[in-house]
Amino acid sequence: MAPDQQAVTRLLKQWGEGDKQALDQLMPLVYDQLRSLAGRCLASGRPEQTLRATALVNEAYVRLVHSDLTFNDRVHFFAVAARLLRHILVDHARGLHRQKRGAGAEKLTLDEAVLVSPETPSSILDLDEALSRLAELDKRKADVIELLFFGGLTYDEVAAALEISAATVHRELRMAKAWLHKELAAT
């Protein structure tokens, strides 16, 4: 394990034991990676996405700090952060589609209205619903997608988090991507 990774694991344990100064030392070590994950999650979003990576990381930070979770290690921390990022994105997307905000009516400029296309990109809500259906059928496949896409973990880190081999991660990912592609194409 790299020195940074060891430091993160050590600080997570100290924070879990109640050392508030450990949190102050921990955040600079994980902030850049959290921001990178948030940017990656948002990059695949819709063009009208109003949430920014910094706001997403700040919201995740607040929720992580106020949680009663104890993190085993760096991989566990980023696995939890991945789930949290997904939930924040879904909550934000739901907020944009509420009745008081236009009930999901698509915003078009005059030029876009002239060139109306029947195809619209899959939203984060579609992905969340498909992942939830996948989790009902096969939780491990849904976890692999969530940890890789939202968590930005490597195959080896996902394997460690789920206690499976990297080859199994690859196999599960292939199957999950095929299933998601079929599901999202149908919506």
pLDDT score recorded for residue 41: 72
C-alpha 141/C-alpha 42 separation (Å) is: 22
Asked whether residue 112 is assigned to any structural domain, the reply reads no
pLDDT score recorded for residue 116: 33
C-alpha 143/C-alpha 97 separation (Å) is: 26
Q: Is 151 left (phi over 0), alpha (psi -120 to 50) or beta?
A: alpha
Asked whether residue 33 is assigned to any structural domain, the reply reads yes
Average pLDDT for residues 113-131, to the nearest whole number?
Answer: 58
Percent of the chain whose pLDDT exceeds 70: 79
pLDDT score recorded for residue 60: 85
Asked whether residue 166 is assigned to any structural domain, the reply reads yes
C-alpha 105/C-alpha 177 separation (Å) is: 29
Compute the C-alpha angle 86/132/126, nearest 5°.
70
Domain that holds residue 159: 3-104+118-186
Q: What is the mean pLDDT of the chain?
A: 78
Asked whether residue 111 is assigned to any structural domain, the reply reads no
Average pLDDT for residues 56-78, to the nearest whole number?
Answer: 84
Asked whether residue 181 is assigned to any structural domain, the reply reads yes
Q: How confident is the model at residue 137 (pLDDT cuts 50, 70, 90)?
A: very high
Average pLDDT for residues 138-145, to the nearest whole number?
Answer: 93
Asked whether residue 113 is assigned to any structural domain, the reply reads no
Which amino acid belongs to residue 3?
Answer: P
Percent of the chain whose pLDDT exceeds 90: 19
- Report residue 104: phi and psi, to 5°: 80, 5
pLDDT score recorded for residue 119: 38
pTM value > 0.85 = no
Q: How confident is the model at residue 171 (pLDDT cuts 50, 70, 90)?
A: very high
pLDDT score recorded for residue 163: 92
pLDDT score recorded for residue 32: 83
Q: How many CB atoms lie within 10 A of CB 102?
A: 11
What are the angstrom distances between the C-alpha of 101 and each of 98, 104, 118, 132? 5, 8, 22, 25
Tokens of 43: 């990059």
Asked whether residue 177 is assigned to any structural domain, the reply reads yes
Asked whether residue 12 is assigned to any structural domain, the reply reads yes
Cβ burial, residue 75 (10 Å; 0-12/13-18/19+): buried
C-alpha 97/C-alpha 107 separation (Å) is: 12
- Give the chain's domain count: 1
Express each pLDDT in 89-116 by its tens digit.
Answer: 888 877 766 644 455 445 443 333 333 3
